[in-house]
Chains A and B, each alone.
Chain A
């Protein structure tokens, strides 16, 4: 889908006044990002779709309360997604253990069968470790690798300084490496 060109400030202003088309532009711009975030936080396609839908429903119902405080609109959306995912994890933990190896095969960005993401056992193991990290570390990894955002951009979304993000990222890598060692997981090199 081509990137939609618009002045986000103007679109946000119109959307907060009830302009449905303006909200539609925001939806087009952020649907993939929010879906990816929720998908990697839950590891479940159907729940990711359900939660993504709820994120945008909630955003639409509350966008008139949105005020620009110098942080990107995406931070507001990610905050909604974060809260819904946290509730989802809390509800799941009350009911049952999450089947961590239940990560489905999902079409990649290209949406072509030949580009389908088929995960290896190694990648499944790594995903399981990632999903055992604290939420903010998972968020950081998703924003960095899935969204390809810089530390500064991640900092804006997470409400941290660029240096704090860099530090957290390094600690996250060290923690992951230690967990890989503890669980004796072997990763194939290139």
Chain B
């Protein structure tokens, strides 16, 4: 194995440097457990999914509207029950 200083390399001959770069910049594999963990996070990210869905303003309006409507229905039903059964019990 010979030793050569790249400083003495002519300008138009950069093959040595390219060979060194090829030997240094080699593909590396990420750890398998990291890839698996990230795969699970990417495939099943409930928080991200919710955030993504809620980002759609139309969906957001529907969700908020649905919650308000549901709450009003529950309150109305509760008041009706109170008037029907509550008063009878009091009387």
User: Which A residues contact B (CB, under 8 angstroms)?
Assistant: 18, 20-21, 23-24, 27-28, 31-32, 35-36, 39-40, 48-49, 52-53, 56-57, 60-61, 64, 106-111, 117, 119, 122-123, 126-127, 130, 141-142, 145-147, 170, 173-174, 176-177, 180-181, 184-190
Q: Which A residues lie within 8 Å of B23 (CB)? A: 123
Question: Contact between A186 and B21 (Cβ–Cβ < 8 Å)?
Answer: no
Known: A24-B39, A189-B1. A35 touches B30 (CB 8 A): yes
> Would A188 and B38 be within 8 Å (CB), given that A126-B21, A174-B11 are in contact?
no
What residues on A are CB-neighbors of B25 within 8 Å? 40, 130, 141-142, 145-146
B88 CB-CB contact with A under 8 Å: no
CA distance A173 to B9 in the complex (A): 12
- In the complex, what residues of B have CB within 8 A of residue A180's CB? 6-7, 17
Decide: A189 and B29 in contact? CB cutoff 8 A.
no
Secondary structure dominating the interface of B:
helix
Cβ contacts under 8 Å, B21 to chain A:
126, 130, 141, 145, 176
| Residues in B whose Cβ lies below 8 Å from that of A109 | 27-29
Q: How far is the CB of B15 from chain A (nearest CB, A)?
A: 10
Chain B interface residue count, Cβ-Cβ cutoff 8 angstroms = 39
Complex Cα distance, B23 from A117, in Å, reads: 10
A143 to B34, CA, bound (A): 23
Known contacts A24-B42, A49-B34, A180-B6; decide if A32 and B20 are in contact (CB<8 Å): no
Known: A186-B3, A187-B16; 6 extra A-B contacts, CB below 8 A, are: A32-B27, A126-B24, A173-B14, A186-B5, A187-B6, A188-B3
Contact assessment for B48 and A60 in the assembled complex, using a CB-CB cutoff below 8 Å: yes
User: Using Cβ atoms and an 8 Å threshold, which residues of chain B touch A146?
Assistant: 25-27
Chain B, residue nearest A105 (CB): B28
Instruction: Give the chain B neighbours of A190 by CB distance below 8 A.
Output: 1-2, 19
* Contact between chains at B2 and A189 (CB < 8 Å): yes
Across the interface, which residues of B come within 8 angstroms of A186, CB to CB?
3, 5
Q: Which are the 9 A-B pairs with shortest beta-carbon distances? A: A145-B25, A181-B7, A35-B30, A189-B4, A106-B28, A123-B24, A173-B14, A189-B2, A180-B6
